[in-house]
Structures are given as C-alpha cells and as structure tokens.
C-alpha cells in the first residue's frame, strides 16, 4: 500500500477492525519510511447496480446521491450523521437484495420513503415533497393524511 504522504510502499498495518456492520474492514497503517499514519478500508467488490431512470436512461447507482438526499431531508432534525449513514447503508443493502443488477429509480425512491417513514416522519415528508414533486399544499395535506392513517393502524 502506497503511503499518501511520501508515496513509498513501506507501510504496515497497526490496527484492524470491522466497520459498517461487518461489511468493511478499517485498517490503520503506519509508513515505515516517513512514520505518518493513515487509514484504508477494505470492502467486498460488488457488481455495479444500474438505475433505470424515468426516461429509460441507465446510470450506475450512486450511494452518495442517496446519502445527500437523506442528509437534506434530515436537515435540522436530531439525527446523527452516523444514523443517517446507517440508514443509507440499510437502503442500499435492501435494494441490492431485492434487485440484483438493475432497479428503477421509482423502486429506489419508494424503498427510501418506506425506510424514512420509520426513521423520521418529518424527514419522510421532506423527502416525499421532492421525490413526488408536490405542487401545492393539498399534496402535502394528502401525504400527511396517508402518514397519519398509517400511524393509526
């Protein structure tokens, strides 16, 4: 492993631990040349998941897009970044289990809404307003009515 500080291959592992619920390994390394420490992550290489957009175009699933949408929906809510990242991981794993190689953007959006409903109801409404393109207050009211009806059942 090349040291990011001096570009020499003289690093060694000083600590390893599982992260992301065992789906990755975090390794702390020290460079034998310059003595600086750095961190690397080891994950299982997965086949790319393709997203089929509304217009039929395909693109590679981008976890960062999902994470950024969740972060925006949870803005100013009392949710830690760690819990939001865990939610994104949970959604991604669910998508990969259900749709091995291709998933529609609609399926991803609906799965995200389903998980957000239990995670944070305000974040759910915020995400739904963008995802479902609410055009007026009645759209919000309808979604709130559905949310409240689900909560009563």
Measured CA to CA, the distance from residue 75 to residue 60 in angstroms comes to: 26
- Domain assignment present for residue 135? The answer is yes
Question: Is 74 found in the same domain as 16?
Answer: no
Domains: count for the chain: 2
Q: Which of 76, 102, 74, 101 is nearest to 88 (CA)?
A: 74
Tell me the pLDDT of the chain (153 aa) as tens digits: 899 999 999 899 999 999 877 878 999 999 999 999 999 989 887 788 999 999 999 999 999 999 999 999 999 999 999 999 999 999 998 998 998 789 999 999 999 999 999 999 999 999 999 998 888 899 889 888 988 888 787
Measured CA to CA, the distance from residue 35 to residue 8 in angstroms comes to: 11
- Domain assignment present for residue 56? The answer is no
CA torsion 41-42-45-51 (nearest 10°) is -20
Question: Is 81 found in the same domain as 131?
Answer: yes
Measured CA to CA, the distance from residue 112 to residue 51 in angstroms comes to: 14
The pTM of the whole model exceeds 0.85: no
- Which residues constitute the domain of residue 145? 64-152
Question: Is 125 found in the same domain as 80?
Answer: yes
Q: Does residue 73 contact residue 123 with C-beta atoms inside 8 Å?
A: yes
User: Which residues touch 120 (CB under 8 Å, ≥6 apart)?
Assistant: 73, 74, 77, 79
Measured CA to CA, the distance from residue 148 to residue 146 in angstroms comes to: 6
- Domain assignment present for residue 55? The answer is no
């Amino acid at each position: 492993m090349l040291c990011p500080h001096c570009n020499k291959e003289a690093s060694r592992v000083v600590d390893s631990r599982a992260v992301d619920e065992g789906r990755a390994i975090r390794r702390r390394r020290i460079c034998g040349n310059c003595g600086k420490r750095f961190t690397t992550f080891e994950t299982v290489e997965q086949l790319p998941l393709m997203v089929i957009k509304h217009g039929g175009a395909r693109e590679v699933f981008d976890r960062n897009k999902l994470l950024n949408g969740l972060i925006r929906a949870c803005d100013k809510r009392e949710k830690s970044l760690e819990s939001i990242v865990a939610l994104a991981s949970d959604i991604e794993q669910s998508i990969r289990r259900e749709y091995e190689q291709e998933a529609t953007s609609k399926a991803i959006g609906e799965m995200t809404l389903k998980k957000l409903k239990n995670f944070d109801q305000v974040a759910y409404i915020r995400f739904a307003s963008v995802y479902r393109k609410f055009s007026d207050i009645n759209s919000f009211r309808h979604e709130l009515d559905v949310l409240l009806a689900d909560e009563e059942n």
